[in-house]
Amino acid sequence: MQRLFICTDLDRTLLPNGKQAESPEARTIFARLVSRPEVCLAYVSGRNLSLVQEVIEEYNLPSPDFVVGDVGSTIYHFNGDIWQHYQNWSREIAPDWQGLNSIDLQPLLADIVNISHLTLQESDRQNRFKLSYYLPLEVDNQALRTCMNLRLQKQNIAASLIYSVDEDKGIGLLDILPASATKFHAVEFLRCQLDFDYSNTVFAGDSGNDLPVLVSDVPSVLVANAHEDIIKVAQLQGNMNNLYLAKGDFLGMNGNYSAGILEGIAYYHPHTKQWME
């Protein structure tokens, strides 16, 4: 049996929660495909586990074998009964923070946090390997991140500091993660742990935090609804031998969201088309 490892982002990749239309039958076909015994499925998301579970219900998505959550800082495995922390991943990323957790990191940054008027995000947005703050939009986030990084480096802590904006709330978001806790490293780690190689792995995504995977050696699909800026960057940086841009007109579908995922999987693995029909 030739196995297939399918890893996909959720928001605006598998989930049709963007502006573009979804082909009506696409998610049903996706569910049919991943129900095959050959397929191992991982959802790779910025969401935490409970928010992933919420959208699985809301959009009636197939239950995956793995969830890579919190932008790569957690991996969970479904053991048929409950979701369990994939401890091998925690062990893999823990050395970046010298064995410290996000609570241990707070006092190291306290004075910077005070001066810059940062506030801690809610407890359900924190975890052992994710320390998250709100910051006012007027704060120079580049300078702030440089300053925090220098402080952490002095303690030999390797962190990535990721800034984004919550447009709805008009506030900045700062996530401090172990340097290796990215979607890319998490996908590569799982792939190796599960004994898949590039010939039987496909990743799908749509936006900035998917780019490191999209432009890597992992065979990837950029769904057709991706923002044109992302498409341009991916084309510039990616290797077009292992980056497929969904364009639609596959099984009569438009290439957006799950239709794009299916189109890409069929491109790399033509035999799977018969599992979709």
The footprint of Mg ion (CB under 5 A) covers 9, 11-13, 206-207
* Min separation Cβ 224 and Mg ion, Å: 13
* Min separation Cβ 155 and Mg ion, Å: 33
CB nearer to Mg ion: pick between 18 and 152: 18
* Min separation Cβ 99 and Mg ion, Å: 32
CA angle 186, 187, 193 (to 5 degrees): 85
CB nearer to Mg ion: pick between 62 and 85: 62
CA angle 189, 191, 194 (to 5 degrees): 105
3-state secondary structure of 178: strand
Which of 85, 107, 74, 91 has the alpha carbon at shortest distance from 177?
Answer: 74
* Min separation Cβ 14 and Mg ion, Å: 9
DSSP letter for each residue of 59-91: TTPPPPSEEEEGGGTEEEEE-SSSEEE-HHHHH
* Min separation Cβ 168 and Mg ion, Å: 16
Identify the helix (H) or strand (E) that includes residue 222: strand 220-222
CB nearer to Mg ion: pick between 17 and 149: 17
Q: What whole-number distance in Å separates Cα of residue 78 and Cα of residue 214?
A: 26
Helix axes 257-268, 26-34, angle to 10 degrees: 50
CB nearer to Mg ion: pick between 11 and 25: 11
CB nearer to Mg ion: pick between 14 and 75: 14
